[in-house]
Chain A
Amino acid sequence: MNYDPQVNKREAAKHYIPASDADIQAMLDHLGCETFEDLYSHIPKDVRFESDINIPKSKTSDDIISEMSAIANKNNIRTSFIGDGLKAYKVMDVAGPVLNIRSLTTSYTPYQPERSQGTLMTHWIYQSLLSQLTGFEAVNASMYDRATALFEAIKCSMRILTKRNKVLVFDSIYPGDREVLNTHAEHTGLEIIWVKGNNFSKNGSIGLDELKAAAAGIEDDIVSVAFPQINNVGTVAKVDDITDYVHEIGALAIAVIDPLLIATGGLKAPSKYGQEGADIFVAEGQHLAIGPNFGGPGLGIFGIRYNDKCKKFIRATAGRFVGDAKDINGRDCKLIILSTREQHIKREKANSNICSNEAYIATVCGATILNRGDKGLQESVEISRNLALKSAEVLSSFKGVELAFPEAAFMNEFTLKLDTSVSKLISSALESDLQIGVNVSDRIEKDSDSYLMLCFTDLHSENDISKLEEFFSNHFEKADNNFKPVALPACQLREGEAGIAHYSAQEIEDYYKELGTQNVSPDNAIYPLGSCTMKYNPYLNDYVAAFDGFANAHPQAPESDVQGCLEVIYETQEYFKAITGLPGVTTQPLAGAQGELVGVKLFQAYHQDRAEKRDIILIPKTAHGTNPATAAVAGLVTKKFNGIVEIESTEDGEMDFDRLKECVDEYGERILGVMVTNPNTSGIFETKFAAMSELIHSVGGLVYMDGANMNAIAAWIDLGKMGVDAVHNNTHKTWSIPHGGGGPGDAFVAVSDKLIPFLPGIQAVKKADGQFEIAHAPKSIGSFHRHEGNFGHKVRCLTYLKALGHDGVKRMAAVAVLSARYLFSRLENKFCVLPTGNKRDKVMHEFILTLPQSTFDKIVEAGIPKALVISRVGKLFLDFGFHAPTVAWPEMYGLMIEPTESYTKDELDRFADAVLALFDLIDENPRVLLTAPHFTPIDRVDDLTANKRPVMAETISELPEVLPNRFNLDKIWAMDIPTVKETILKAHEDARI
């Protein structure tokens, strides 16, 4: 892939802001403002930055490419046998082209199914293929990673068997996953009992005896047992025995698998374990889609049984499911179903706080599975397995080298016991340009340094074994070969073929491109989803993230081999310290929702450290559902006690400060903290934020700022001065990471001094000699990802930050506010404003409109219930060639519009003209909403049947049909707005109702 700055006018523009100086001046003039400063004049001066923030000035793309490639080159990408928590397999040819289909990568979560069939179909294919591989009827559209998917699986099991309360987990899952579980369980009352998974009983049944011992006497309390198919020393578990025992005691079996290894020719699928199969499975799937990328974006795979025997399990799950549906005229289509489980509807009662998933990695995963096909998958399994066997034979023929578990079967990863120091051997192997594997000594024997685990995949060849052999021959003497591999018993293996269809890279690329035509992208026009910051996502970010040094760095490689990755993390920390005005940053969080969870857990740890028990969190009523859901996940809401106290807003849309004072008086030192979005969910800056912080601090509480709306204030407002103790930014909003049709998201959390000792994950530290090292906070709350987060997105984010510089960040925020305020001024006379007290000179980066009562009345008379009016109005935006605004949230009758800084004045004017025309259209012909949308590939979706009788997979024997747009988007974009309006009216008149 080459980088071409002329690919889009936004790419070529300074700071990716295409509005000209004349555009900006004209908009300022229109608003009666002289400078950008005037846009912020309603915000108290004492929370503003006094001077430019301390980050470098904006750089050219050429400079960024050479700077970032120098950083990438600091990583040493060697022949590697590191597998463990994240394997590296061949990245299929089709991955690159699919990763570059912009209308799929840059689009939002498919909440508007009529304009998102492309995204929905890619998820459907992913779900269906994973369903076919595993035999599970329901696989969700993905989760963050294996570790968090396992936590969600455990929580899910507890909602299914509500009368039991203990969870058993084999400690032979990967250590990174173990830490994530422990971190999440803290303060929630969840008791995890660890089963020694790597012990060997006399009959060779790995872990079963230990499981029985751990369960003895508490069998009736056990909710679920989670166990890996392959233990963290490479041995294959006797999954049949374990599953049958788990079912015997009435608990649920949660399998942790590697989906690639259960393909044809591989291990048994989790639906076939024992008599009845496992009930839930989780897995990592990053290696099926992309390279290691220093650990992420990952792909958490989650599946659950859904059949007549266990129809209700699905209701207990987290994460999005795509279901089969029909539109109101009977066309086949897809739809997000079962949404009532989610935080945006159920708030603190939701099954999880998670909003995003790893949608785009799932999309690529689906495409690469089709590209491999059954034969390709089988080949990968067999190459991996055969090379591992061969290598085990070669290496164990050295004196002082033996298989650590000679009686246990392994698949493609095995552990050697060496008579020398493994850590020293790993270091000296670097000189031979080899990463020989992972030191797993502490998993097997306390204080030992003798166990080395090596992994083989389809990236390896016989030649790599020769390299290993040569290296070993320098350290060990040759001896007689007495290698006797333990055969994998038939009961551990897949029966028959998985039957995955195969398509060429070209066929798949063409198909996915066709799916792309069903979506819209911020590349082409305003994507007005309020609260989502659908700004332009620079190509340069993707170009840099794909550098070999970044894409192929393994997160468990020695520190000296990943200096480039640590530099990216270090620089990101420093940039965000300057941008937020706060002294500490963690780059680990995977998304905004997880950032919030990190924040609340930091608060809990801080108070616990001071031996204080606090159980109340104050959250504005207007907060996004994720905020209360996060508080619940952190343990502040239980069946018997709800620690969330809601704060109402006043008519002007700001938090009711008097009510806040009352709450502080009432709860005082019980207050853990507050969680406030600023600018808030109505796009209004909370001008009393600093006073609020002072009040909360006066009773010892802490202040969390939800930074979802940072795009309006970055480099203008100093969060330190506002008294913020912790804040997250969604890098997929403000910092230009693509939304991916639902994910992967990404975030960082910045904190005040008080919370620095508790930060999770790693800190990258720059030493005096310019090298980087990994440090951990002394009282760290733990870890939220199996490795160090979505590193690939950190590269994208840093690339963007370098392009913006301190001048560009400030300009980005100001133009975002200017664009929104300009748009507002063009629309405010025809529409009504929400909250009713909002005013033009308080509008930040987004605003909420509603229809006048008289228009509502006409629409209701035309036959649409009032509760549905706004969502139907949203459908009409699709006909104008735009995505819909955010409908019916946070105001039930509101349309929330956020234009971002990515569009010219002409583009803003066209959008304004369209919205005004849309208003006239429904005011004059309200019945048009009965048939809208008219130009999308499908009519409005029948969401009722799809939700009542969910179908979440099919056998993909041929690529599902793609229905064409009923009116080409390019044609709509080329028309003037009055013509679009006429065309819609004509389509309405021709439509069947």
Chain B
Amino acid sequence: MKHFSKDHEWVSLDGDVATVGISIHAAAELGDVTFVELPETDESVEAGAAVSVVESVKAASDIYAPIAGTISEVNEVLEDEPEIINEDAEEKGWIFKLTGVDASALEGLMTAEQYAEFIK
């Protein structure tokens, strides 16, 4: 199940690994993505820290860690094919994974239904 932040990131938890990306809505707002600046692995990040940047031709958007954790993996495919974010933002377009996360942190985020209401 996905949770969403007010900054339009989604996070999905599998065991203690959280996968993070941007919402389909955010990807559409941003327009065609030209570049994704991926974070460095092994870095521990606070919730709300700017860890990555998604760029279109004329805009650059910071991507924040929706919950705290340690970056364990990044989606390197995006380096060569940033358009995956536009094509499949909430599955293949994941950006990074966090380990050592606290599942209760998800409580501060929105459910898919709440997020759908939020972006109306």
Contacts and interface: CB of A to CB of B under 8 A. Distances in A.
Interface in B28-67: 31-32, 34-35, 37, 40, 55-60, 62
Contact of A311 (B34, B57, B79): B79
Interface of A is mostly: helix
Nearest to B80: A311
Nearest to B30: A867
Contact of A340 (B32, B40, B60, B83): B60
A947 B31 contact: no
A309 interface: no
Interface residues of B, number: 16
A975 interface: no
A467 interface: no
A345 B34 CA distance: 15
Given A340-B35, A948-B34, A948-B35, A162 B40 contact: yes
A345 B58 contact: yes
Given A162-B40, A315-B37, A947-B34, A340 B82 contact: no
A721 interface: no
Contacts of A340: 34-35, 55-60
Contacts of B57: 339-340, 943-944, 947
A346 interface: yes
Contacts of A865: 31
- Chain A contact-residue range equals 10 to 19
A162 B37 CA distance: 13
- With most chain A CB atoms within 10 A of its CB, the pick from B35, B56, B59 is B35
Contacts of B32: 944
Contact of A867 (B31, B62, B82): B31
Interface string A316-356: 00000000000000000000000110000110010000000
A867 B34 CA distance: 17
B34 A944 contact: yes
Contacts of B55: 340
Interface string A876-891: 0000000000000000
A345 B59 contact: yes
- With most chain B CB atoms within 10 A of its CB, the pick from A162, A867, A948 is A948
B82 A948 contact: yes
A311 B82 CA distance: 14
B83 to A, nearest CB: 8
Contact of B60 (A163, A346, A943, A948): A346
A339 B55 CA distance: 10
A890 B82 CA distance: 29
Contacts of B34: 340, 944, 947-948
Contacts of B83: 948
Contacts of B58: 339-340, 345
Nearest to A943: B57
Nearest to B83: A948
Contacts of A944: 32, 34, 57
Contacts of B62: 349
A317 to B, nearest CB: 13
B7 to A, nearest CB: 15
Interface string A235-277: 0000000000000000000000000000000000000000000
Interface string A935-950: 0000000011001100
Contacts of A345: 58-60
Nearest to A342: B60
Interface string A941-966: 00110011000000000000000000
B79 A315 contact: no
A212 B18 CA distance: 45
A349 to B, nearest CB: 8
Nearest to B56: A340
Interface string B60-76: 10100000000000000
A315 B58 CA distance: 14
A4 B9 CA distance: 63
A346 to B, nearest CB: 6
B3 to A, nearest CB: 27
B71 to A, nearest CB: 14
Contacts of A312: 79
Contacts of B82: 948
A869 B83 CA distance: 23
- With most chain B CB atoms within 10 A of its CB, the pick from A340, A349, A947 is A340
Nearest to B82: A948
A303 B85 CA distance: 31
A312 B40 CA distance: 13
Nearest to B62: A349
B93 to A, nearest CB: 15
Nearest to B28: A865
Contacts of B40: 162-163
B45 to A, nearest CB: 12
Contacts of B79: 311-312
A939 to B, nearest CB: 17
- With most chain B CB atoms within 10 A of its CB, the pick from A162, A163, A339 is A339
B86 to A, nearest CB: 10
B59 A315 contact: no
B57 to A, nearest CB: 5
Contacts of A943: 57
Contacts of A163: 40
A944 B56 CA distance: 8
A315 B31 contact: no
A865 B59 CA distance: 15
Interface string A137-162: 00000000000000000000000001
Interface string A339-382: 11000011001000000000000000000000000000000000
A944 B55 CA distance: 11
A165 to B, nearest CB: 15
A339 B60 CA distance: 10
A888 B6 CA distance: 25
A339 B57 CA distance: 7
A315 B60 CA distance: 12
A668 B59 CA distance: 34
Contacts of B60: 340, 345-346, 349
A315 B83 CA distance: 18
A943 B58 CA distance: 10
Nearest to A346: B60
- With most chain B CB atoms within 10 A of its CB, the pick from A162, A163, A944 is A944
- With most chain A CB atoms within 10 A of its CB, the pick from B56, B58, B62, B79 is B58
Nearest to B37: A315
A712 B87 CA distance: 49
B33 to A, nearest CB: 9
Contacts of B56: 340
A883 B71 CA distance: 48
A162 B51 CA distance: 13
A948 B31 CA distance: 13
Nearest to A162: B40
A791 B34 CA distance: 40
- With most chain B CB atoms within 10 A of its CB, the pick from A315, A345, A865, A947 is A947
Interface in A582-635: none
Contacts of A162: 40
A349 B62 CA distance: 10
Interface of A: 162-163, 311-312, 315, 339-340, 345-346, 349, 865, 867, 943-944, 947-948
29 contacts: A162-B40, A163-B40, A311-B79, A312-B79, A315-B37, A339-B57, A339-B58, A340-B34, A340-B35, A340-B55, A340-B56, A340-B57, A340-B58, A340-B59, A345-B58, A345-B59, A345-B60, A349-B62, A865-B31, A867-B31, A943-B57, A944-B32, A944-B34, A944-B57, A947-B35, A947-B57, A948-B35, A948-B82, A948-B83
Given A311-B79, A948-B82, 7 more contacts: A340-B56, A340-B60, A345-B60, A349-B62, A943-B57, A947-B34, A948-B83
Interface of B: 31-32, 34-35, 37, 40, 55-60, 62, 79, 82-83
What 10 pairs across the A-B complex have the smallest Cβ distances?
A: A340-B60, A947-B34, A340-B55, A943-B57, A944-B32, A948-B34, A947-B57, A346-B60, A345-B60, A944-B57
